[in-house]
């Protein structure tokens, strides 16, 4: 049985799809929930423009400018894929974080277990502090 | 010809960066997917794949206002791709590398070399036929260096002429100075925070420096003996003193220099202040 629940809070869109529950799924869900709570807190910080959190079954997106949703989603997905490729080329091991700095803004992408996190922020925001808060 | 000189300059700069920072494992420069120069340990195929993967990000980075830098932090190392004067410099470092130091070095050295080469060969920088591969000439490095130097002076001469000149005796031409005296890289400057060094048996003319920094100097200068260091305070006071490695392993890697009170007085500095240190190479 597949249940779908959709909740929308202002600019935040949460889509959760749950499969049959087993132990690992429960753990994954717990990680996802913890990350979502953490990111919701981080999103209140000055300079943070929003975040995208996704795994194979769920996604939470909260952006101050929802019009950039598609662009940001494509960028974060591509960044993690390309970074994976580059990390294999130079054998730097499992990716801990990817920082993409543009002329106006920057994005911090991470893969935490099965969850992929992208946080968008203004260029002068301290990304190291954000990184410590997401993956201490 | 100009392009060869250009690539040669960049390639040497990349190799020097590796010499100065042993934690840098690979460096290369690319533009629009073409590899312009790579260090001796980076193969072109790897560099090309990296440039392609990076371009895929660039194409999707309009939302950030155009891409400037990508930093991938892995469990064992870091890859940094940064835009410098329309070029992209890739630096691969180990996890232990001092990111700020490496970035400062690369972001000063590369633009300086680019500017310098641009001044010497203004046409080459935007030339579409820029040499993208780095074909090392056959023979050893010294021969290569001499060839390039000669080419630099004779760059305007057509190839055919060079070919006819080659068999003629050139004994009267003086040997380039490079061959007479081995070239030494500029002493690297490291910034340290002053720490007090006291005790009965402490020599008053000797400072103590991080072992890792001394190892870097040794690697850079090989057999050349380094017995003293030049110190400079932020106020511009300079002096030369003997040095030894820091004894206490707990104090290593903290970016400090242990200094007896007498030296602190000479330099008009004190605990907690910054000093610039470089090896005294004669």
ipTM: 0.81
Best B24, B39, B48, B64 residue to mutate vs chain A (most A CBs within 10 Å): B64
DSSP state of B19: H
Rounded Cα distance, B167 and A4, in Å: 83
- Length of chain A (residues): 136
Beta-bridged to residue B26, according to DSSP, are B92
Summarised one tens digit per residue, pLDDT across range A37-79 is: 999 999 999 999 999 999 988 899 999 999 999 999 999 999 9
> Angle of helix B44-59 relative to helix A69-89, nearest 10 degrees?
170
Please tell me whether residue B208 adopts helix, strand or coil conformation.
strand
Q: What are phi and psi of A57, to 5 degrees?
A: -115, -20
- Give the end-to-end CA distance of chain A in Å, rounded to a whole number: 36
User: Range of A59's domain?
Assistant: 3-134
**Does residue A98 contact residue A83 with C-beta atoms inside 8 Å?**
yes
Rounded Cα distance, B211 and B249, in Å: 9
Rounded Cα distance, B254 and B193, in Å: 9
Rounded Cα distance, B279 and B282, in Å: 10
Cβ separation A100–B70 shorter than 8 A:
yes
Per-residue confidence band for A104, with pLDDT thresholds at 50, 70 and 90: confident
Rounded Cα distance, B239 and B277, in Å: 10
In tens digits, what is the pLDDT along chain B, a chain of 282 residues?
A: 456 777 888 888 888 888 888 899 999 999 888 898 898 889 889 999 999 999 999 988 888 888 899 999 999 999 999 988 788 999 999 988 888 888 888 888 888 887 787 777 665 444 444 444 444 443 444 433 333 343 443 444 444 444 334 444 444 444 444 444 556 677 788 888 899 988 877 888 899 998 888 888 888 887 778 889 999 888 888 899 999 888 888 887 788 899 998 899 888 888 888 888 989 877
The residue of chain A nearest to residue B45, with distances taken between CA atoms, is A89
Q: In which element (H, E) is residue B239 found? A: strand B238-245
What is the CATH classification number for the domain harbouring A114?
3.30.450.30
User: What's the whole-model pTM score?
Assistant: 0.58
- Domain count of the fold of chain A: 1
Rounded Cα distance, A114 and A32, in Å: 9
Cβ separation A101–B70 shorter than 8 A:
yes
CA distance B223 to chain A (A): 31
**Does residue B188 contact residue B45 with C-beta atoms inside 8 Å?**
no
Rounded Cα distance, B185 and B62, in Å: 41
**What HEC string does B64-80 produce?**
HCCEEEEEEEECCEEEE
> Who among A71, A81, A87 is closest to B63 (CB)?
A71
Looking from the CA of B208 toward its CB, the CA atoms found within 13 Å total: 20
Give yes or no for A65 touching B (CB within 8 A). Answer: no
The residue of chain A nearest to residue B44, with distances taken between CA atoms, is A89
**What HEC string does chain A produce?**
CCEEEEEEECCEEEEEEECCCCHHHHHHHHHHHHHHHHHHHHCCCCCEEEEEEECCCEEEEEECCHHHHHHHHHHHHHHHHHHHHHHHHCCCCCEEEEEEEECCEEEEEEEECCEEEEEEEECCCCHHHHHHHHCC
Give yes or no for A105 touching B (CB within 8 A). Answer: yes
Which domains does chain B possess?
Answer: 2-135 (3.30.450.30), 190-279 (2.40.40.20)
Rounded Cα distance, B71 and B121, in Å: 32
> Who among A96, A100, A106 is closest to B57 (CB)?
A100
Beta-bridged to residue B72, according to DSSP, are A98, B79
């Amino acid at each position: 049985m597949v249940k779908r629940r959709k909740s929308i809070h202002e600019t935040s869109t949460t889509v959760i799809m749950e499969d049959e529950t087993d132990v690992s799924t429960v753990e994954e869900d717990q990680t996802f929930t913890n990350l979502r709570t953490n990111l919701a807190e981080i999103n209140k910080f000055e300079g943070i423009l929003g975040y995208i959190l996704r795994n194979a079954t769920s996604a939470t997106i909260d952006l101050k400018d929802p019009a950039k949703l598609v662009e940001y989603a494509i960028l974060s997905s591509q960044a993690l894929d390309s970074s994976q490729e580059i990390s294999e080329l130079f054998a730097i091991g499992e990716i801990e974080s990817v920082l993409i700095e543009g002329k106006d803004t920057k994005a911090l992408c991470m893969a935490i277990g099965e969850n992929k996190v992208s946080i968008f922020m203004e260029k002068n925001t301290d990304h190291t502090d954000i990184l410590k808060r997401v993956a201490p | 010809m100009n392009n060869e000189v250009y690539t040669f300059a960049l390639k040497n700069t990349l190799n020097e960066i590796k010499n100065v920072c042993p934690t840098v494992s690979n460096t290369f420069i690319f533009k629009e997917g073409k590899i312009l120069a790579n260090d001796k340990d980076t193969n072109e195929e790897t560099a090309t794949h990296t440039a392609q993967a990076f371009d895929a990000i660039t194409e999707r980075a309009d939302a950030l206002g155009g891409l400037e830098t990508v930093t991938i932090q892995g469990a064992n190392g870091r890859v940094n791709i940064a835009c410098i004067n329309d070029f992209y410099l890739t630096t691969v470092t180990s996890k232990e590398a001092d990111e700020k130091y490496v970035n400062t070095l690369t972001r000063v050295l590369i633009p300086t070399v680019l500017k310098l080469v641009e001044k010497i060969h203004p046409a080459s920088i935007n030339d579409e036929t820029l040499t993208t591969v780095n074909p090392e000439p056959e023979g050893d490095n010294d021969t290569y260096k001499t060839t390039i130097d000669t080419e630099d002076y004779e760059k305007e001469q057509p190839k055919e002429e060079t070919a006819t000149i080659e068999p003629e005796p050139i004994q009267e031409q003086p040997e380039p100075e490079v061959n007479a005296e081995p070239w030494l890289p500029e002493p690297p400057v490291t910034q340290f925070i002053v720490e007090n060094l006291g005790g009965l048996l402490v020599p008053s003319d000797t400072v103590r420096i991080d072992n890792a920094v001394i190892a870097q100097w040794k690697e850079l200068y090989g057999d050349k003996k380094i017995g003293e260091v030049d110190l400079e305070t932020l106020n511009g006071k300079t002096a030369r003193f003997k040095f030894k490695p820091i004894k206490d392993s707990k104090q290593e890697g903290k970016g400090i220099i242990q200094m007896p009170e007498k030296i602190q007085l000479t330099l008009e500095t004190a605990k907690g202040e910054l000093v610039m240190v470089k090896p005294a190479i004669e």
